[in-house]
Structure 1
Amino acid sequence: MTSPQSVPEPGDNLALAKLAVRDQLLTSRRRRSLSEVGAAARAIADHLVAAPEVRRAATVACYVSVGSEPGTTALLDRLVEAGKRVILPVLLPDNDLDWSAYHGPASLAPAGRGLLEPVGPRLGADAVATADVVLVPGLAVSPTGQRLGRGGGSYDRALARVPLGTFTCVLLYPDETGVAVPTEPHDRPVAAVATPEGVVRF
């Protein structure tokens, strides 16, 4: 007879499905060359800076990319050059996100988990709600805008604070779009995806 503990809950099945997709996507990312990552970063920056939503924005919430993520270094500097107020996340012990203003590479310092974070005054977790554009990391996105993150829930919590109608966009490689993303009730969709091929709105 099967014990109750051995029957997987629906949430467990979803978590396992997400884990399998994450592993596959992370393996693919690790195979990308530095030149490919760099070229993708420049192309994504070009597309986003030209996007009407970003051109109109006064404040842009972004992040500092790590490893083989689509790079944001060029994008951050171009946003500042364009006169945008840029805010970046600061990871809190409970995996929630605080925010602080970006004032160029000198305003960043190493933090836990291999991250670079802004060193200026903290603006509070609700600061993301003041952004006109919110650019987020991810591993994949579905055809309807369901985003797959790394599993910590940080950006689902942040996106829950963003007012309806705000332009939210995940930065990905082309083969990470149109993926069948397992979705849970707390997952927050995004309005668009930016890849080296352009910006697609959902």
Structure 2
Amino acid sequence: MLRRDLLSVRNGLTADDVQEAAAALAERALVLPELAHARTVAAYVSVGAEPGTLALLDALRARGVRVLLPALLPDNDLDWGAYEGEDSLGQVRHGGRMALLEPAGERLGPDAVTSADVVLLPGLAVDARGMRLGRGGGSYDRVLARLERARVDPALVVLLYDTEVVGRVPAEAHDRPVHAVVTPSAVRRFPRGA
């Protein structure tokens, strides 16, 4: 029910709302120390009314950061490819779901994410504990488990709208808290290991 309510609010945003929020998100995210010092960032391309990421991806790439983007696999796991600018993206439809923009070039394998200094995670909400509510497909739960198995500890950052930082989201035993949430108006950090 919470997912449905959050998606309903997102779907009510205008294209101008989304574009304005994307510019503010990029500006705020780019000054995060984690992104300022990152050599490799695993990110994603926003679709529909998701908080926009393209401006941030382009700014990171202009800084010389290696940006990895996901490609959805048939089992909902994620492969990765390098972002080489908006022209390097292809629209891919997975079953009856919405079309995703994915890297059109070489696939680097699901473990490529373990080289990232920062992982930008999509989400619908984050709560006061840093717990993230995703869309429910489990793709990023697999990414987080892969990072844990590899014993790497990149900064985990979620990009959201201001209204999507909430008191509490449902969490399961396998869920892991994020380290920060960036909204158009603020950055909120959560203690590592909380």
Taking structure 2 as the reference length, what is the TM-score of the superposition?
0.91
Greater shift after overlay, 113-122 or 85-94?
A: 113-122
* Alignment partner of 1:161 out of 146, 166, 181: 146
Deviates more, 1:109-118 or 1:163-172: 163-172
**Pairs within 5 Å for 1:30-109:** 30-109=11-90
Give the deviation of 1:50 after TM superposition: 1.1
Per-residue deviation at 1:32?
1.0
- In 2, Cα distance between the equivalents of 1:116 and 1:165? 27
Give unmatched runs, 5+ long, in structure 1: 1-19
Aligned mates of 1:101, 1:165 — CA distance in 2:
21
> Does 1:184 pair with 2:172?
yes
Dislocated runs of 4+, deviation >3 Å: none
SS at 2:166's partner residue? Answer: coil
Higher helix content, 1 or 2: 1
Calculate the TM-score normalised by the size of structure 1: 0.88
Contact 1:90 1:99 in 2 (8 A): yes
| Aligned 8 A contact 1:22 1:150 in 2 | yes
Structure 2 matches for 1:127-138, cutoff 5 A? 127-138=112-123
Any conservation in 1 of the 2:114–2:152 contact (CA below 8 Å)?
Answer: no
Task: Work out whether residues 134 and 167 of structure 1, in 8 Å CA contact, stay in contact via their aligned partners in 2.
Answer: yes
- Residue 195 of structure 1: CA displacement? 0.4
The CA distance in 2 between the partners of 1:148 and 1:164, in whole Å, is: 22
| DSSP-derived class of the 2:50 partner | coil
Distance apart, 1:198 and its partner CA = 2.4
2:104 is matched with 119
Q: In structure 2, how many angstroms separate the alpha carbons of the residues matched to 1:28 and 1:94?
A: 29
Which residue in 2 is equivalent to 1:11?
none
Contact 1:140 1:179 (8 Å CA) reproduced: no
The equivalent of 2:131 in structure 1 is: 146
Q: Is residue 183 of structure 2 the alignment partner of residue 195 of structure 1?
A: yes
Over the aligned positions, Cα root-mean-square deviation in angstroms equals 1.0
Whether the 8 Å CA contact 2:124–2:132 is kept in 1: the answer is: yes
2:161 maps to: 173
Write the deviation string for residues 37-60 of structure 1: whole angstroms up to 9, x where unpaired: 111100110111111110100000
Unaligned runs of 5+ in 2: none
**Which residue number in structure 2 is paired with residue 22 of structure 1?**
3
How many aligned positions are there?
Answer: 183
